[in-house]
C-alpha cells in the first residue's frame, strides 16, 4: 500500500511538473512580443487574434515568420521537457509519450490563455501543429497537407485550420496513420487538441457561414 501511494504521488508530481512547464512555455506568446517590438498590441489590430495570420496582415511577412517560428518552437520544447520529466522515473516510450502529451497540450492552453498577457492569446494552431509533429510526424504532414490545399484554394486560413482539426481525431483512429505504436492517450489527445482548435475558431465558423470571413492577404480585418 505504501509503494502504491508513493507511485501515485510520483505520477501526480510528474503530471503537475509537465503541465506547469508546458503552460508557462506556451504563455510566451510570440505575436504579442513581436507586436510590442513594433510598438503595438497585436490584439488591438486586425482580427484581434494573437497569432501568425493576424501578425502577417498587420505587420508583414518578417514579423509573421518570427511569430511562426516562436509559436512552433515553444510547442517542441514543451514536449521535450514533458517527455524528460516522465522518463526520469520510468524510462519507457509509453511514459515518455504521456509526458509529451501532457506538456504539449498544456503549451497549447498557455498559448490560448497566456498567464503573462492577461489570459488573452491566440488560437493555438501553430503550437498544436508542433505538438502533433512531436507526436507523429506522418500524421502531422497529412494534416498540414490538408490545411495547405484548403487554404490555398479558398484563401480562408480559418477553414483550413478547422477542417484539419476535425480530421485529426478520425485519422488518429486509423492504424496506418495514427494509434499503432501509440497508447490510448494518443487518441484522447487528438480529440482534445482538435476540439480545442475548433472551439477557438467558433467566431470564424460563424463568419464563414455568414459569408463575412476575411481571406488571407485581404484588406478586411475581421478574422484570423
Cβ atoms of residues 23 and 114 within 8 Å: no
User: CA end-to-end span of the chain, whole Å?
Assistant: 53
Task: Provide the mean pLDDT of the chain.
Answer: 88
DSSP state for residue 116 in the 8-state scheme = G
State how far the Cα of 177 lies from the Cα of 155, in Å rounded to an integer: 27
For the cut 80, the answer to whether the pLDDT of residue 180 exceeds it is no
Q: By the 8 A CB rule, do 215 and 159 touch? A: no
Asked whether the predicted pLDDT for residue 58 surpasses 80, the reply is yes
Which of the four pLDDT bands, split at 50, 70 and 90, describes residue 179? low
Class of residue 60 by CB neighbours under 10 A (exposed 0-12, middle 13-18, buried 19+)? exposed
Distance of CA 119 to the CA centre of its chain: 16
Categorize the per-residue pLDDT at 37 as very low, low, confident or very high, splitting at 50, 70 and 90. Answer: very high
The answer to whether the CB of 95 falls within 8 A of the CB of 87 is yes
**Structure confidence at residue 196 (pLDDT):** 96
Collapsing DSSP states into helix, strand and coil, what is residue 90?
coil
Q: What distance lies between CA 184 and its chain's CA centroid?
A: 20
Mean per-residue pLDDT, 96-100? 89
Mean pLDDT value of segment 38-65 = 88
Q: Is the pLDDT of residue 161 over 50?
A: yes
Does residue 204 have a pLDDT over 50?
Answer: yes
Contacts of 33 (CB under 8 A, 6+ apart): 70
Q: Are 102 and 19 in contact (CB under 8 A)?
A: yes
Q: Would you place residue 223 in the very low, low, confident or very high pLDDT band (cuts 50, 70, 90)?
A: very low
pLDDT band at 51 (very low <50, low <70, confident <90, very high): confident
Per-residue pLDDT tens digits for 64-95: 999 999 999 999 999 999 999 998 877 777 78
Interior CA angle at 128 toward 219 and 32, to 5°? 50
> Of the given ranges (4-18, 51-65, 130-144), which has the lowest mean pLDDT?
4-18
- Gap between the Cα atoms of 128 and 165, Å rounded: 9
pLDDT over 90 percentage in the chain: 62
Amino acid at each position: 500500500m505504501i509503494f502504491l501511494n508513493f507511485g501515485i504521488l510520483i505520477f501526480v508530481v510528474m503530471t503537475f511538473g509537465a503541465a506547469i512547464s508546458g503552460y508557462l512555455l506556451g504563455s510566451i506568446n510570440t505575436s504579442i512580443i513581436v507586436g510590442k517590438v513594433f510598438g503595438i498590441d497585436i490584439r488591438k489590430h486586425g482580427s484581434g487574434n494573437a497569432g501568425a495570420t493576424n501578425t502577417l496582415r498587420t505587420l508583414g511577412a518578417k514579423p509573421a515568420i518570427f511569430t511562426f517560428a516562436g509559436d512552433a518552437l515553444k510547442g517542441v520544447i514543451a514536449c521535450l521537457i514533458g517527455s524528460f520529466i516522465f522518463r526520469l522515473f520510468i524510462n519507457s516510450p509509453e511514459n515518455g509519450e504521456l509526458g509529451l502529451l501532457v506538456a504539449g497540450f498544456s503549451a497549447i492552453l498557455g498559448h490560448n490563455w497566456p498567464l503573462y498577457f492577461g489570459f488573452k492569446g491566440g488560437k493555438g494552431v501553430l503550437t498544436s501543429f508542433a505538438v502533433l509533429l512531436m507526436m507523429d510526424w506522418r500524421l502531422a504532414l497529412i494534416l498540414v497537407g490538408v490545411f495547405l490545399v484548403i487554404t490555398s484554394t479558398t484563401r480562408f486560413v480559418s477553414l483550413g485550420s478547422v477542417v484539419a482539426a476535425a480530421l485529426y481525431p478520425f485519422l488518429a483512429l486509423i492504424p496506418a496513420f495514427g494509434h499503432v505504436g501509440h497508447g490510448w492517450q494518443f487518441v484522447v489527445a487528438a480529440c482534445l487538441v482538435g476540439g480545442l482548435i475548433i472551439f477557438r475558431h467558433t467566431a470564424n465558423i460563424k463568419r464563414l457561414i455568414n459569408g463575412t470571413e476575411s481571406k488571407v492577404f485581404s484588406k478586411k480585418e475581421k478574422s484570423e
